[in-house]
Amino acid sequence: MIRSGPRFILSLACCALLSACAISQPAPPAGEKQLSSISVSQAIEDEQLAELETIESSQAIDSKQLVRWGGTIASVTNRPDGSTLLEIVSRPLYRDGRPIHDDRSDGRFLALVDTFLDPEIVSAGRDMTVLGNLTGKVSGTVGESIYLFPIVNVDDYRFWKPTLTVQPGHFTHWNRYPPFGQADPFRRDWPFGSRLDRPSRH
């Protein structure tokens, strides 16, 4: 039996709205906390942001500057105290918090996580988004270049699985779909062929 009527339609609309709200929540969530709009490059240039001697110094700073930054992990360092330091190449984020791969980067930053992360699982090249307090910056190197890394003491984080991207050229017959051509876009994907696949008779 198919239900219809205003009440049923209203229920469907509410479900769709709740689903949309759930999807639009960025990860990791900040809850009621106010996020800072400062970017990685701005933090590097910010003269008010303390330049620290060591990473350990950042753990003693009570910062109220909450940021959500993300990107691609460049290196993972497991520290003697059980924490993990990640160097991350920053990337712009989608609304859900996933890093965008479009050859843009705002710089690099260090994310200090107060637990052990296995480098066989959390490895270079993996995408990650972190939520935490910006506590300062510390001098390091990228290759042979001196580099100032902003430091984030991480409260929450999210790893992202790679997304499958199919290039348009993978389906070479798609661009010939009417009215742009003659072939059915699925003619090579079905167990039977179209008349266009059959040899011509002379």
Do the domain assignments include residue 129? Answer: yes
Q: What is the CATH number of the domain that holds 107?
A: 2.40.50.140
Which comes out higher in pLDDT, residue 174 or 104?
104
Q: Residue 190: what pLDDT?
A: 44
**Is residue 174 domain-resident?**
no
By CB neighbour count within 10 A (0-12 exposed, 13-18 middle, 19+ buried), where does 55 fall?
A: buried
Q: Is residue 196 part of a domain?
A: no
Let me know if residue 10 belongs to a domain.
no
Kindly report whether the global pTM for this prediction surpasses the value 0.75.
Answer: no
Asked if the structure places residue 120 within a domain, the reply is yes
Whole-angstrom distance, CA of residue 174 vs CA of residue 188? 10
Structural domain total, the chain = 1
Domain range spanning residue 121?
27-160
Residue 119 counted as domain residue: yes
pLDDT in tens, 47-66: 999 999 888 877 767 778 99
Q: Torsion angle of alpha carbons 68, 73, 77, 83, nearest 10°?
A: 30
Q: Does residue 137 fall inside a structural domain?
A: yes
In a domain, 167, yes or no: no
